[in-house]
Copies of this chain bind each other. A is one copy, B any other.
Amino acid sequence: MQEPTLLLLTALADAPRHGYALIQEIAVISDGRVKMRTGTLYSALDRLLQQGLIQVERDEVIDGRARRTYALAEAGRATLAAEADRLRAVVAEADRRLRTIRPTARGALA
């Protein structure tokens, strides 16, 4: 799973949201660093629907504009939790190794 997908599932974890709201939510989550393009968003939503990780919550028309709201499915919830666990482990390992004194690297302290 790549980061845009991870961010999408994360953005849906606490509440259902529609496409445009997801773009804004992801900007907030990533502290403004990630501005997801609609090409990425809607193709990812299609894919995640296909995989059963998310589901369509409802279709509405607000002020003449179509709005489709997506919700995280149970499978998506489980997938996100598993992915978070895996990444947490890798990040912890990276931190541990970055703090290690490097035995043979040029210019190492030891």
Residue among B3, B77, B93 making CB contact with A98, cutoff 8 Å: B77
Q: Does A29 contact B84, Cβ atoms closer than 8 Å?
A: no
Decide: A94 near B80, CB < 8 A? Known: A15-B105, A102-B14, A104-B15.
yes
CB distance from A72 to the nearest CB of B (A): 8
Which among A7, A33, A84, A91 has the greatest number of chain B C-beta atoms within 10 A? A91
A contacts, CB < 8 Å to B: 1-3, 6-7, 9-10, 13-16, 29-31, 33, 57, 71-72, 77, 80-81, 83-84, 86-91, 93-98, 100, 102-106
Identical copies in the complex:
2
Q: Does A97 contact B16, Cβ atoms closer than 8 Å?
A: no
Q: How far is the CA of A90 from the CA of B33 in the complex (A)?
A: 12
Residue among B84, B98, B100 making CB contact with A94, cutoff 8 Å: B84
Q: How far is the CA of A102 from the CA of B80 in the complex (A)?
A: 15
Residue among B13, B90, B106 making CB contact with A100, cutoff 8 Å: B13
Residues of B within 8 A of A96 (CB): 14
